Amino acid sequence: MRVLMLSKACVVGAYQRKLEELAALPEMELLVVVPPYWQEEVRQIQLERLHTQGYQLEVEPIRFNGHFHFFYFPGLSRHLRAFQPDIVHLDEEPYNFASWHALRLARHAGAHTLFFTWQNLHRQYPPPFRWMEQYCLDHTDRAIAGNAEAVDVLRQKGFHKPIDVIPQFGVDPDIFRPAFPLSKGEGVFRIGYVGRLVEQKGILDLLEATAGLQEVQLTLVGAGPLRGAIEARAMALNIVDRLEIIPGVPSRQMPDIYNRFDALVLPSLTRPNWKEQFGRAMVEAMACQVPVIGSDSGEIPNVIGDAGIIFHEGDVDALRLQLAKLQTSPELRRQLGFQGRARVLERFTQSRIAEETHQVYRELLATSR
């Protein structure tokens, strides 16, 4: 089968491992079209070529780069004519112009289609995005949802075709793995956060919880508009000397970052227009046998399962209590670390995600025939 995937996310080198795994499966011929970079808020994510064996990775400039709803690939029709795919996999939300544009071209080329969605809130978009979304829901053959609540949203919007719940990407356990020795020794307890520096991620709550502990170091890995407020709050809490902010790290260096931590925290806060859709940093940390603590926002409890600690979002005292429990119990940290990696190996590896996606392709073609 010939599959053309359209994905701005695959500019990240670590994500390309799934593409290699997909390409190695039976009857697969894979072409992935990516932009040369993606402009994300305050930083530009340049294309990394880390895992490019067994498939074609084509770079195609996009218009309106960084505008999530407006961007599209103007040269896509050229790749469709040259490759003649059986399936076009839109690795984008159905309400984006890029999806609408690509779907129309794919239908004209006679290809079967599917899209990917993270959206776990039922939102009504203004025109023309509402019209583009409806077109995609009416004319796409299948969908992949990154979380369980996204399935409910699609059903509420009238999408009655098959939906598979598969995370967009897994992790490579040979890359994201524990550093040995596992014990980081006595002394400072190292707490980590990885993600965007935005209000809804609950980072200010994490600062408050950390301020009530002794002998701790907090490292935030990420960039975003909340940085100034974070630094001001750290100053007010008198923890500036215990706070480190790393604005950006290449994906290939992230395993080293995770292995510095005694615990990773994702304290996300549900908002009227957002709730946590997955929490990829948790899965990467779990693969490194780093124990994780997450709030109960969105998909976080489903990702962690019984392999970490859940607290009620916004409850600073509860978060502080769980951090203190981990800080004083190396045995609990080891236990949760082992359980976390075992859960990743069972559910969240790149090979597992690739196998599930490959099965979707096979069923799509079989049903269409």
DSSP string, 244-307: EEE----GGGHHHHHTT-SEEEE----BTTB-----HHHHHHHHTT--EEEESSTTHHHHHTTS
- The pLDDT of residue 181: 58
The answer as to whether 177 is a domain residue is: no
pLDDT of residue 187: 82
Residue span of the structural domain in which 278 resides: 189-347
CATH of the domain at 35: 3.40.50.2000
Show pLDDT as tens, one digit a residue, over the chain (369 residues).
999 999 999 999 889 999 999 999 999 999 999 999 999 877 799 999 999 999 999 999 999 999 999 999 999 999 999 999 999 999 999 999 999 999 999 999 999 999 999 999 999 999 999 999 999 999 999 999 999 999 999 999 999 999 999 999 999 999 999 997 555 546 899 999 999 999 999 999 999 999 999 999 999 999 999 999 999 999 999 999 999 999 978 878 999 999 999 999 999 999 999 999 999 999 999 999 999 999 999 999 999 999 999 999 999 999 999 999 999 999 999 999 999 999 999 999 999 999 999 999 999 999 865
Residues 275 and 232 in one domain: yes
| Bridge pairing between strands 112-117 and 87-90 | parallel
Q: Same domain for 66 and 115?
A: yes
Spatial contact of 342 and 305, defined as CB atoms under 8 Å apart: no
Do residue 134 and residue 166 come from a single domain? yes
At 251 the pLDDT is 79
- Do 132 and 145 fall into the same domain? yes
**Distance in angstroms between the alpha carbons of the first and the last residue of the chain:** 13
Measured CA distances, 16 to 7, 59, 201, 313 (Å): 11, 14, 26, 33
The full DSSP string for 307-322 is SSEEE-TT-HHHHHHH
At residue 41, the pLDDT reads 74
